[in-house]
Amino acid sequence: MLSNEELAAVLTVGHETRSVEFKSAGNLTDKAFVALVARAALGLANQRDGGNIVLGVDDRDPQGEGNGLDENQLRDWKNLDAVADKLNRYADPPLILRVEARQHPNGKPVVVIEVSEFSEIPSLCMKDYPNTLALGQLYTRSLRKPESSMYHTQNEMREVLDLATQKGLRRFMETSTGAGFFMRPGEPASALPSHAEQFQEQIEAMAADPQLVAITAHAHFRHLIYPQSFEADKVPYEEMKRYVREATVRLRGWPFPFVENPVNGDVFVGETTMWGTHNETWRFFTSGLFADFKAIGDWPNDWDSFGGDGEAAGNMPAWFPLLNFTEALEFAARLKSKLALAEPMVVRFEAYNIAGTKLVVADDRRSGFHQDYVYSSPSWRSEEIHVTDEAVLSGTRSLAAKAAKRLLGRFGWEGVTSDLLEGIQASALNT
């Protein structure tokens, strides 16, 4: 995603590039304008590393004072769900998009749409629009001039075919290696650790770090996010802090993860924060593993308690896992888009040292407990959740509610429902 500084540098060049297209101000309700943006997005998606569309910039005068979006245009084009819905009516498979507001050097707002390269196969146009888009056509970025075109030179077509072939071969190798088909001569398949086992080694090494004992020795959740395939150097080390910052989620004020002054490890960057109910440590590894350990904290008894005011500590609000899972899954979706991964992101949640933890409401608007609900086992682990391109586009909140419902049900709370959890999400999170 272009920063303000990078945008200013592109504008200084004075013209579009193969990876950056300018579009003057237009409305999301204007079908003709949306079709033009969709055409540009299709072309960018079908080239290596994708590209960016800058809305609110006239390509005839990129640095002019007249550039920028009005308040209504800015509001509409910042809405990722609405933008993805409009543009993906023209794309099959759907485009992977991010949108963010930026500031033109003249001080006015613009919007940048980041288009990721296709995941597995090129995106084709799935709907006609007169004089702009043709059903079934492949659009690419021309090598002759910066535009999206349905007419291809042999070099432009070869570029798309090479990219699709590489992605297909990579998927084949990942599947075959995971099945044990590729081994060193004379070495049994059982001697080779699986992708999941290699990620688990990194997770266990982090959990065993004595510097993190202030969190790991107490009740805590682990939010674990990683690609399906293990590659030790999947993520460029010099880009890791930027990726985490740009994928950070702020759905309820406090960011997930908390990123202020990350430290450098040999194969990771990370940070530990000890702020009362926000005790957290996270690490992002060059393998693509993101591991976040968050203390469950210690909330007081409340009006729905059946244990009396003198009850021992060890309480957890029912909303706590739900909202943390929601933020973690949204972060996973953003991180997948940032890394432009063709494969799904695997997410799982774990809890440790939680025996005796009791649910509390901690909000007088959300009553309904009929007894004390206490967890009896020392740990819990969710099923694996696969964050696919479709999940990135459609949203991850239902996935979070499903995982939280499974956990809360283990406390013996039979009254927990999907509607109740989705209502908490809607009222507690910024939308």
Please say if the pLDDT value at position 188 is more than 90: no
**So what's the pLDDT on residue 288?**
96
**So what's the pLDDT on residue 111?**
96
Please say if the pLDDT value at position 310 is more than 60: no
Q: Which of helix, strand or coil describes residue 382?
A: coil
Q: What percent of the chain has pLDDT over 90?
A: 53
CATH architecture of the region 4-162: 2-Layer Sandwich (3.30)
**Counting beta carbons within 10 angstroms of the beta carbon of residue 365, is it exposed (0 to 12), middle (13 to 18) or buried (19 or more)?**
exposed
Prediction pTM value: 0.59
- Alpha-carbon distance values, 34 to 39, 83, 151 (Å): 9, 9, 21
pLDDT tens digits for range 8-21? 888 887 888 888 99
- Amino acid identity for residue 323 in this structure: L
pLDDT higher for 367 or 201? Answer: 201
What is the mean pLDDT of the segment spanning 354-380?
77
pLDDT higher for 149 or 315? Answer: 315
- Measure the CA–CA gap between 77 and 169, rounded to whole angstroms: 36
**Counting beta carbons within 10 angstroms of the beta carbon of residue 208, is it exposed (0 to 12), middle (13 to 18) or buried (19 or more)?**
exposed
**So what's the pLDDT on residue 277?**
65
Q: Which residues pair with 387 in a beta bridge?
A: 345
Please say if the pLDDT value at position 211 is more than 60: yes
**So what's the pLDDT on residue 230?**
94
**Counting beta carbons within 10 angstroms of the beta carbon of residue 205, is it exposed (0 to 12), middle (13 to 18) or buried (19 or more)?**
middle
Q: Are the C-beta atoms of residues 148 and 51 closer than 8 Å to each other?
A: no
Q: Give the confidence band of 212 by pLDDT, cuts at 50, 70, 90.
A: very high
Segment among 108-117, 204-213, 359-368 with least mean pLDDT: 359-368
Closest CA to 113 of 13, 42, 64, 167: 42
Q: Which of helix, strand or coil describes residue 356?
A: coil
141 φ, ψ (degrees, to nearest 5): -90, 125
Task: Report the chain's mean pLDDT, rounded to a whole number.
Answer: 85
pLDDT tens digits for range 216-260? 999 999 999 999 999 999 999 999 999 999 999 988 778 899 999
What is the mean pLDDT of the segment spanning 388-394?
74
DSSP per-residue string spanning 161-203: HHHHHHHHHHHHHHHHHHTT-S--TT--GGGSPPHHHHHHHHH
Q: What percent of the chain has pLDDT over 70?
A: 84
- Alpha-carbon distance values, 17 to 99, 115, 360 (Å): 19, 14, 56
**So what's the pLDDT on residue 285?**
97
Beta strands in 9-137 (DSSP E): 20-23, 51-55, 91-92, 97-103, 109-115, 124-125
pLDDT tens digits for range 143-167? 666 777 776 676 777 777 777 787 6
Domain definitions of the chain by residue range: 4-162, 197-428
| Residue 31 CB partners (closer than 8 Å, separation 6+) | 129
Please say if the pLDDT value at position 424 is more than 90: no
Please say if the pLDDT value at position 331 is more than 50: yes
58 half-sphere exposure, CB direction, 13 A CA radius: 8
**So what's the pLDDT on residue 40?**
94
Q: Give the confidence band of 33 by pLDDT, cuts at 50, 70, 90.
A: very high
Q: Which of helix, strand or coil describes residue 92?
A: strand
pLDDT higher for 155 or 208? Answer: 208
> Does the bond joining 236 to the residue before it have cis omega, within 30 degrees of 0?
no
- Measure the CA–CA gap between 191 and 145, rounded to whole angstroms: 52
pLDDT tens digits for range 73-126? 999 999 998 999 999 999 988 888 899 999 999 999 999 999 988 877 888 999
- Amino acid identity for residue 91 in this structure: A
Q: Give the confidence band of 1 by pLDDT, cuts at 50, 70, 90.
A: confident
> Does the bond joining 93 to the residue before it have cis omega, within 30 degrees of 0?
yes
135 φ, ψ (degrees, to nearest 5): -55, 130
Highest mean pLDDT (candidates 176-185, 206-215, 337-346, 357-366)? 206-215
| Residue 310 CB partners (closer than 8 Å, separation 6+) | none
Q: Give the confidence band of 37 by pLDDT, cuts at 50, 70, 90.
A: very high
